[in-house]
């Protein structure tokens, strides 16, 4: 553990690997001995294109992305994809699963395009009525016959609900997953998806960048209302450079991918992620002060919300005291999302095992003072 790096449990923008920041720092003023930084050169230069291509190749290697998928490095975060997806793919009906704050936002944004007349947006199921603590059984979903696509969020960052198995729709409807907060946390079978997208600021790099992994047969279906810059086909043909891309974020993401390879790839990082999550959930479950009410089958290994004595009031004295003391101990950003209250520890790839060990030790000590 680095002495001057403070344990950081931010949900996003989140902590980045120290080694990556150090490399970026070393290269800042004099990148590749050119006397300039990488953000000060043309995105069309061969030197920059080499950086961009290497980042894509490393991501392809890590995720074992099949050749018939394009990998795009776009802007506007994951949120702009909530619009880009219907604008590119909605023609008849699209199915949406609502399992928490983010998939709910995606559904609501898509409904705007239903109003515009692009097609129908169908809600297959919502777990709002159980407070987003579980996911309904697939046999109860109201799936459409011939949907253009099925959209879901693989990890609900706010509610701490993760869907580990790709829904088996038993047809060839393209599955689209928002993986903003779980991409690269463990291996997945990309070939089961029509499209995967992820905002960078959780497990990849700086905010603003969004990565889209899309099967080639889904290109070229965009509505005439779709802005050119949002068209997947246009961006695929331009190698994500229809306009100036977020060059520095792309470069930094590349450093994170290289770092992940050095860590041993996704199986190695997954083992560590499951260990960190287990430490936290065990601490919560073995305590009479802390609780997490997510169905055990869907507990996220990336975002762990928890409450003190079921007290969801953010302003309550015990919550405030917990946060104040955690801060004093150098355990940062444990305050829960304003929608839910309580606490949340985000434990992405770059969150060190020692940080989580320090957190659970603090939680146990804090509980003793309340006994």
Residues of the shown chain interacting with ligand PLP in the complex, contacts defined by CB under 6 A: 12, 77-79, 102, 153, 157, 178, 180-181, 199, 201-202, 207
Angle, to 10 degrees, between the axis of helix 77-89 and the axis of helix 101-115? 40
Give the nearer residue to ligand PLP in terms of CB position, either 161 or 255: 161
Calculate the CA 23 to chain-centre distance: 24
Give the nearer residue to ligand PLP in terms of CB position, either 110 or 308: 110
The H-assigned helical ranges of 182-264 are 232-237, 247-262
Angle, to 10 degrees, between the axis of helix 247-262 and the axis of helix 46-63? 40
Give the nearer residue to ligand PLP in terms of CB position, either 81 or 235: 81
**Shortest gap between Cβ of 80 and ligand PLP (angstroms)?**
7
**Shortest gap between Cβ of 180 and ligand PLP (angstroms)?**
3
CB 153 within 8 A of CB 123: no
At 310, list the tokens. Answer: 């079921």
Choose the catalytic residue: 202, 231, 276, 335: 202
Give the nearer residue to ligand PLP in terms of CB position, either 304 or 363: 304
**Shortest gap between Cβ of 2 and ligand PLP (angstroms)?**
26
**Shortest gap between Cβ of 61 and ligand PLP (angstroms)?**
24
From CA 291, how far away is CA 281, in angstroms rounded?
9
Residue nearest to ligand PLP (CB): 77
Q: Annotated catalytic, 98? A: no
Which DSSP state fits 2? -
The H-assigned helical ranges of the chain are 18-27, 46-63, 77-89, 101-115, 232-237, 247-262, 265-285, 317-328, 353-370
Query: Among 91, 149, 83, 153, which residue's Cα sits nearest to residue 120?
Result: 91
**Shortest gap between Cβ of 235 and ligand PLP (angstroms)?**
17
**Local structure of 130: helix, strand or coil:** helix
Give the nearer residue to ligand PLP in terms of CB position, either 88 or 283: 88
Q: Annotated catalytic, 102? A: yes
Integer Rg of the chain from CA? 21
CB 148 within 8 A of CB 194: no
Give the nearer residue to ligand PLP in terms of CB position, either 56 or 178: 178
Which DSSP state fits 132? T
Angle, to 10 degrees, between the axis of helix 317-328 and the axis of helix 353-370? 140
**Shortest gap between Cβ of 183 and ligand PLP (angstroms)?**
10
Choose the catalytic residue: 31, 98, 102, 276: 102
285, with CB counted inside 10 A (0-12, 13-18, 19+), is exposed
Q: Annotated catalytic, 70? A: no
Show which residues are catalytic: 102, 178, 202
């Amino acid at each position: 553990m680095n002495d001057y790096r403070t344990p950081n449990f931010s949900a996003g923008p989140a902590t980045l690997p120290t080694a990556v920041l150090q490399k970026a720092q070393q290269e800042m003023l004099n990148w590749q001995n050119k006397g300039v930084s990488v953000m000060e050169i043309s995105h069309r230069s061969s030197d920059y294109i080499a950086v961009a291509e290497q980042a894509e190749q490393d991501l392809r290697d890590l995720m074992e992305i099949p050749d018939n998928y394009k990998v795009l490095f776009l802007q506007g975060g994951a949120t702009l994809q909530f619009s880009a997806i219907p604008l590119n793919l909605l023609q008849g009906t699209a199915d949406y699963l609502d399992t928490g704050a983010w998939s709910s936002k995606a559904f609501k944004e898509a409904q705007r395009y239903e109003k515009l007349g692009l097609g129908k947006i169908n809600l297959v199921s919502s777990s709002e009525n159980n407070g987003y603590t579980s996911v309904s059984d697939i046999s109860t979903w109201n799936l459409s016959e011939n949907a253009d696509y099925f959209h879901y969020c693989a990890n609900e960052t706010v509610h701490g609900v993760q869907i580990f198995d790709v829904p088996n729709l038993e047809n060839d409807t393209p599955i689209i997953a928002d993986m903003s907060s779980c991409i690269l946390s463990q291996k997945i079978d990309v070939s089961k998806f029509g499209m995967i997208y992820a905002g960078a600021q959780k497990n990849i790099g700086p905010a603003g960048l969004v990565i889209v992994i899309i099967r080639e047969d889904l290109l070229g279906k965009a509505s005439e209302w779709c802005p050119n810059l949002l068209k997947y086909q246009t961006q695929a043909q331009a190698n994500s450079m229809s306009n100036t891309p977020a060059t520095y974020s792309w470069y930094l993401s590349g450093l994170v991918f290289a770092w992940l390879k050095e860590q041993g790839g996704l199986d190695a990082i997954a083992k560590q992620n499951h260990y960190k999550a287990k430490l936290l959930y065990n601490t919560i479950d073995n305590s009479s002060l802390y609780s997490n009410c997510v169905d055990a089958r869907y507990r996220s290994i990336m975002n762990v919300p928890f409450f003190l004595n079921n007290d969801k009031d953010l302003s309550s004295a015990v919550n405030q005291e917990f946060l104040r003391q955690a801060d004093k101990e150098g355990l940062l950003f444990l305050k829960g999302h304003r929608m839910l209250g309580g606490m949340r520890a985000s434990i992405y790839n770059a969150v060190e095992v020692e940080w989580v060990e320090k957190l659970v030790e603090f939680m146990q000590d804090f509980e003793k003072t309340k006994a």
